[in-house]
Amino acid sequence: MDVTLTVNGEEKSVSVPPETTLLRLLRDDLNLTGAKIGCDVGDCGACTVIMDGIAVNSCLVLAGQAGGRSVETIEGLADLDAYHPLQKNFEDLGSLQCGFCGPGMILTAKQLLDDNPNPSKEEIQDALAGNLCRCTGYTKIVEAVADAAAEMRGDKQAA
């Protein structure tokens, strides 16, 4: 089947078998490997991308369902010259260890901050509940999201 979608602001067209997931389309056909293959059943959040403004597990979305939609991956969030405040705060606070969960965590947090620029600690924890990390205790992750939110609101200077 032919699928046309907008990925990180660019229209892309690919031909894939009908059973192809958005995750496989991104990784295998578009070489966007930031979304990770974790559990592949929607439990871990490693494959999280933002589709039409909503954080989704790309392993649960068929490529055909993404047709005509807008998808944002970690590769489209920023570049090496200008990190997104979430990326910068995750780095500055040492929020991740192995980094496998990072893209999913950051994109989930981005959708949260897009919808709620001033979340409470509990709202951050609730938003990230579907993203699993085996390396950390989540404390630095929650702090990074809170710091990025403050920076994006102008309540905190960028480090």
> Residue 128's domain is classified under what CATH number?
1.10.150.120
Same structural domain for residues 99 and 149?
Answer: yes
Looking at the DSSP bridge assignments, the partners of residue 4 are 13
Inform me whether the pLDDT recorded for 157 exceeds 90.
no
Same structural domain for residues 66 and 47?
Answer: yes
Domain endpoint, select from 51, 76, 101: 76
Task: Specify the pTM.
Answer: 0.95
Same structural domain for residues 42 and 65?
Answer: yes
Report whether 23 contacts 42 (CB < 8 A): no
The pLDDT confidence band at residue 159, using thresholds 50, 70 and 90, is low
Same structural domain for residues 39 and 102?
Answer: no
Inform me whether the pLDDT recorded for 56 exceeds 90.
yes
Q: What is the mean pLDDT of residues 26-50?
A: 97
- The answer to the question of residue 158 being in a domain is no
- The answer to the question of residue 47 being in a domain is yes
Q: What are phi and psi of 59, to 5 degrees?
A: -75, -15
Inform me whether the pLDDT recorded for 95 exceeds 90.
yes
| Residue 71 DSSP SS3 | strand
Inform me whether the pLDDT recorded for 101 exceeds 80.
yes
| Residue 136 DSSP SS3 | coil
The H or E element that residue 145 is part of is: helix 139-153
Domain containing residue 126 = 85-153
The pLDDT confidence band at residue 158, using thresholds 50, 70 and 90, is low
Our count of domains for the chain comes to 2
Looking at the DSSP bridge assignments, the partners of residue 54 are 51
Report, in angstroms and rounded to the nearest whole number, the Rg of the chain calculated over CA atoms.
15
Looking at per-residue pLDDT, the higher value among 81 and 60 belongs to 60
Same structural domain for residues 47 and 70?
Answer: yes
**pLDDT value of residue 140:** 97
